[in-house]
A and B are shown apart, each in its own frame.
Chain A
Amino acid sequence: MIEFLTPYLDFLPYELIYLIATLIKVVVILVPLFVIVAYYTYAERKIIGYMQIRIGPNRVGPKGLFQPFADMFKLMFKEIILPTNANIYLFIIAPVLAFAPAMAAWAVIPFNDTLVFSNINAGLLYILAMTSLGVYGVIIAGWASNSKYALLGAMRSAAQIVAYEIAMGFALVGVLMAGGSLNLGEIVNAQAGSVYHWFFIPLFPLFMVYFIAGVAETNRAPFDVAEGESEIVAGFHVEYSGMTFAVFFLAEYANMILISMLTALMFLGGWLSPIPSLLGDSVVWLFLKTGFFMLLFLWFRATFPRYRYDQIMRLGWKVLIPVTIVWLTVEGIMVYYKVGPWFA
């Protein structure tokens, strides 16, 4: 990118060219992400509609294809209501705090061997740190709204995220042991071979735990007690309207896509082809695998009833964490005896 820009921007200092190149890369990653988020919401309504024998949105444009844009313009022109006695600064800054980490995490995601924004050594750790920051948006929104429902939603969400983050972290330790690196590209390359070399086979329990914890971390059904329409209306974002609400919405869907893509990268070999002798490795594989997990998010929402709050806590602390600890021990033994094609 820098080599490409230099002949045209010769008169600028190197630092400025570097900055422009970086900004272009950011736009190239984030703009498609926003488009995918927009059509993910459309897909959600359509797919859940068909699962429940309804049609879903079908009025705006052919087959309702322009519905996301209609929703976007509606949200942009709605009034932003500031509740009385709300803490204005924190109230406005909360959606930003939810949104920024959800975007920042994309910096280290590799799309293939060379296509990565920032190829840092501690990529996995960085992702874990960024996803753990998202909870601040939720807590601050709940507190600054000066509303009981919002505060209850924020408390539920904070407890839930702290509980599931431990299970998620342990599952990532398993990936780290198998891949021998914190760099996401190296983790994918460690799964090279065929479908039998992918980490979801030796790490199957961790794979399940990671995806379940990912669903819980994004506050999606069946773990959506933080929103819980039937009990606390909309939870932490009950007082938010217009664009401020839209930013929370955007962050949630970007996080869902991120979790799907991370699961595909760490357990299903990312861009690697399942049968390399027949079909080559390509970024299309990554998108297919990511799409499958994105579909699962919607499928869960259409299928499962919401967990009760104490059931969520029990599942996180008493089921998922012991499972990960046991499997890390098993994995340690497998690594020691160099089992199968994975640890040889």
Chain B
Amino acid sequence: MLIESIIFYFFAAVTVLSAASVVTVRNPVHAALFLVLTFFSSAFIWMMLEAEFLAITLVLVYVGAVMVLFLFVVMMLDINIARLREGFIKFLPVGILLALVMFGMLFYVLTGDQSAVESMAAPAAKAADFSNTRALGQVLYTEYVFAFEIAAVILLVAIIAAIALTLRRRTDTRYQNPSQQMKVQKKDRLRIIKMEAEK
């Protein structure tokens, strides 16, 4: 139990520190990398909650795919840090107010009488061969099948919209037609000449 708490507090500290670094570091590439670290350490915390499917999917989807594209874009863009920081003082009061509201809500939920955290018994640990993936799949495809399908359709619409927004025919780019390239025969391009060896 002691080791588990040490691991938990370690990853919790890493999560909080790296999340704070995302908004405080100057270099946007460093900020993106700290966000990766935040996702990664929160995946560990989920793993400790025995939610291994969600933890691995978080790493696979957010770290392995989404953040790669983020980094890709951030590296290519020439971001002007000074301009991004311009409104800092102006928006500071609003930011502090939002932070206070968030903190108040969390405080109310975690310490109030109606707190669900204290009144509920800790869930029993599952057996080692309990498959998180199977359990999730069974619920998703039976009880929540319509919500699941609607989410899938929304994602599909978003994909099509993203493609439609960026698709434009540019007349000035040269384009090679691969099917035409593949139809090329050796005899169209290559001529073998027989000639005497030079003395």
Contacts and interface: CB of A to CB of B under 8 A. Distances in A.
Interface of A: 15, 90, 120-122, 125-126, 128-129, 132-133, 135-136, 139-140, 143, 151, 154-155, 158-159, 161-162, 165, 182, 310-311, 314
A139 B53 contact: no
B75 A125 contact: no
Contacts of A143: 29, 71, 75
Contact of B59 (A129, A161, A182): A129
- Residue in B63, B68, B129, B132 whose Cβ sees the most chain A Cβ within 10 Å: B68
Nearest to B57: A125
A139 B75 contact: yes
B64 A133 contact: yes
Given A15-B3, A129-B56, A143-B29, A122 B133 contact: yes
Interface of B: 3, 29, 33, 36, 52-53, 56-57, 59-60, 63-65, 68-69, 71-72, 75-76, 129-133, 176, 178
Contacts of A182: 131, 133
A132 B60 contact: yes
A90 B53 CA distance: 30
B154 to A, nearest CB: 19
A162 B176 CA distance: 23
Contacts of A159: 72
B57 to A, nearest CB: 7
Given A121-B129, A139-B72, 12 more contacts: A121-B132, A125-B53, A128-B60, A129-B56, A129-B57, A132-B65, A133-B64, A140-B33, A159-B72, A162-B65, A182-B133, A311-B178
Contacts of B133: 121-122, 125, 182
Given A121-B52, A128-B60, A151-B75, A136 B65 contact: no
A136 B64 CA distance: 8
Given A129-B56, A162-B68, A165-B64, A136 B132 contact: no
Contacts of B29: 143
A126 B53 CA distance: 9
A182 B3 CA distance: 29
B60 A125 contact: yes
Given A129-B60, A182-B133, A311-B178, A120 B52 contact: yes
Contact of A132 (B52, B63, B71, B176): B63
B91 to A, nearest CB: 30
Contacts of B33: 90, 140
Nearest to B71: A139
